[in-house]
Amino acid sequence: MLKIKNLKATINEKLILKGLDLDIKPGEVHAIMGPNGSGKSTLANVLSGKNGYEIEGEISFNGTDLNDLKIEERAQKGIFLAFQYPLEIPGVNTNNFLRTSLNSVRKARGEKELDTLTFLKLIKEKAKELNIDEKFLSRQLNVGFSGGEKKKNEILQMKLLEPKLSILDETDSGLDIDALRIVADGVNSYKNKKNAFLIITHYQRLLDYIKPDFIHVLSAGKIIKTGNADLGEQLEKTGYANLS
Partner 1 sequence: MKNQDINIDKEYKYGFTTDIESIRSPKGLNEDTIKFISNIKKEPKWMLEWRLKAFNRLQSLKEPNWQKPKYPKINYQDLYYYSAPKSASEKPKSLDEIDPKILETYKKLGIPLVEQQRLNGIAVDAVFDSVSVATTFKDELTKKGIIFCSISEAIQEHPDLVKKYLGSVIPLSDHYFATLNSAVFTDGSFVYIPPNTRCPMELSTYFRINASETGQFERTLIIADKGSYVSYLEGCTAPMRDENQLHAANVELIALDDAEIKYSTVQNWYPGDKNGVGGIYNFVTKRGACRGKNSKISWTQVETGSAITWKYPSCILQGDNSVGEFYSIAITNNYQKADTGTKMIHLGKNTKSKIISKGISAGNADNTYRGLVDINKKATNSRNYTQCDSLLMGNKCGAHTVPYIKNKNSTSTIEHEATTTKINEEQLYYCNQRGLDQEEAVSLIVNGFCKEVLQQLPMEFAVEAQKLVAISLEGSVG
Q: At what angle do helices 177-190 and 147-161 cross, to 10 degrees?
A: 0
- Chain-centroid distance, C-alpha 188: 14
Q: What is the closest distance, in whole angstroms, from the C-beta atom of residue 76 to partner 1 in the complex?
A: 5
Instruction: List residues near partner 1 by CB under 8 A.
Output: 48-51, 53-55, 67-72, 75-76, 80-81, 83, 86-87, 89-92, 97, 100-102, 104-105, 108, 140-141, 157, 161
Shortest Cβ 139–partner 1 spacing (Å): 12
**φ, ψ for residue 162 (rounded to 5)?**
50, 60
* Nearer residue to partner 1 within complex by CB, 166 or 201: 166
Q: Which residue's CB is nearer to partner 1, number 70 or number 194?
A: 70
CB of 48 to partner 1, least distance (A): 5
- Chain centroid, CA 131 distance in Å: 20
Closer to partner 1 by CB, 106 or 124: give it.
Answer: 106
- The residues that bridge with 214 in the sheet, in sequence order, are 30
The amino acid sitting at 86 is: P
The minimum distance between CB 93 and partner 1, in angstroms, equals: 8
If the CB atoms of residues 97 and 209 are measured against partner 1, the closer one turns out to be 97
Which residues partner with 79 through β-bridges?
Answer: 165
Closest CA to 82 of 132, 30, 156: 156
